[in-house]
Amino acid sequence: MLHGKVAIITGGSRGIGYAVVETYLKNGASVALFASRQETVDKALSKLAEEHPNAPVMGLYPDLSDLASVEEAFGQVKERFGRIDILVNNAGISARESIFDYKAEDFERIIRLNVTALFNCSKVAAVYMREQGGGVILNASSMVTRNGQSAGCGYPTSKYAVNGLTRSLARELGPYHIRVNAVAPGVTRTDMVANLPQAMVDRLLPSIPLGRMGEPEEVANAYLFLASDLASYVTGAVLHVDGGAIA
């Protein structure tokens, strides 16, 4: 479904991001995975080499909150693979502190990675995609944009911003044949969910009509669809992949 395409996936070393990397490779794409540190990049590349020998994949660890660092990394991808067709803005962090305990620097850190980094990567990708005549930008939203969450206000705040940026860029970049969409996962079996208190997970599951957590591969399939030509007339959408949790 992505034969000949080149994709950049931020937060691609684990969880949903890693599942997207694997799904894209299986569907013919060349992939550059971005992570926060060299050791996480090396670990992911080593695992991919075992499971997908000779796969066209590279790894980098730019500071996504710094525009110059993003520009340099995208330039390396272009030099290696010749073009950039797909950007998956998957990197993100969460928090669960009460507003009474929330530190301003922690709030700002979430905004930097979940919003500013997304803007930086989208800005640089849009330049390459406009020159090529089109492309796809996909952003990581969340089910919390429907109802918020009971603590950790920085995370839902950032994801509301993601939705706004997604819809705005869809309008702005549509004339250049650049589609912009978002995927909003529900409760998915990732490291982030593993860090939640079990009591919280137990409360969440009965509210999911399908009666279970999602798997990273199921969310990755949504990213595959939106990146492919099957979604050629889809832009400005936020696709919920949550087992019906917000239905």
**Number of domains composing the chain:** 1
pLDDT score for 24? 98
Q: Which of 113, 122, 118, 123 is nearest to 92 (CA)?
A: 113
When pLDDT is averaged across residues 149-169 and rounded to a whole number, the result is: 89
Residue 193, in any domain of the structure: no
Quick one: pLDDT at residue 194?
66
Of the residues 18, 24, 61, 155, only one is catalytic, namely: 155
Q: Is the pLDDT of residue 206 over 90?
A: no
Answer whether 23's CB lies under 8 Å from 220's CB.
yes
Kindly state whether residue 164 falls inside one of the protein's structural domains: yes
Q: What is the pLDDT of residues 74-128, one digit of tens each?
A: 999 999 999 999 999 999 888 777 888 888 889 899 999 999 999 999 999 999 9
CA 189, 192, 197, 202 torsion-angle sign: negative
| pLDDT reading at 228 higher than 70 | yes
Cβ neighbour number for residue 128 with a 10 Å cutoff: 20
Q: What is the DSSP letter of 65?
A: T
pTM score above 0.85 = yes
Tokens of 89: 């803005």
pLDDT band at 195 (very low <50, low <70, confident <90, very high): low
Q: Nearest CA to 90 among 27, 3, 159? A: 159
How confident is the model at residue 94, as a pLDDT?
A: 80
| Greater pLDDT, 29 or 193 | 29
Say if 196 falls within a structural domain.
Answer: no
The more confidently predicted of residues 158 and 145 is 158
Measured CA distances, 149 to 153, 181, 183, 198, 213 (Å) = 7, 23, 18, 17, 18
* Cα Dmax for the chain: 51
51/179: higher pLDDT: 179
- Note down the domain range covering 77: 6-185+217-241
* 151 within some domain: yes
Helix (H, G, I), strand (E, B), or coil: what is residue 66? Answer: coil
Residue 58: give its domain's CATH number. 3.40.50.720
Cβ(65)–Cβ(116) under 8 Å?
yes
pLDDT in tens, 19-62: 999 999 999 999 999 999 999 999 999 999 999 999 999 999 99
Q: Which of 235, 192, 222 is nearest to 20 (CA)?
A: 222
Residue 246 in any domain: the answer is no
Determine, yes or no, domain membership for 175: yes
Query: Model confidence over 115-153: pLDDT tens digits?
Result: 999 999 999 999 999 999 999 999 999 888 887 777 778
Measured between alpha carbons, how far is residue 133 from residues 136, 166, 176, 234 in Å? 11, 19, 6, 17
Q: How many residues does the chain have?
A: 247
Per the annotation, the verdict on 176 as an active-site residue is no
SS3 (DSSP) at 62: coil
The answer to whether position 201 is within a domain reads: no
Residue 89 lies in a domain: yes
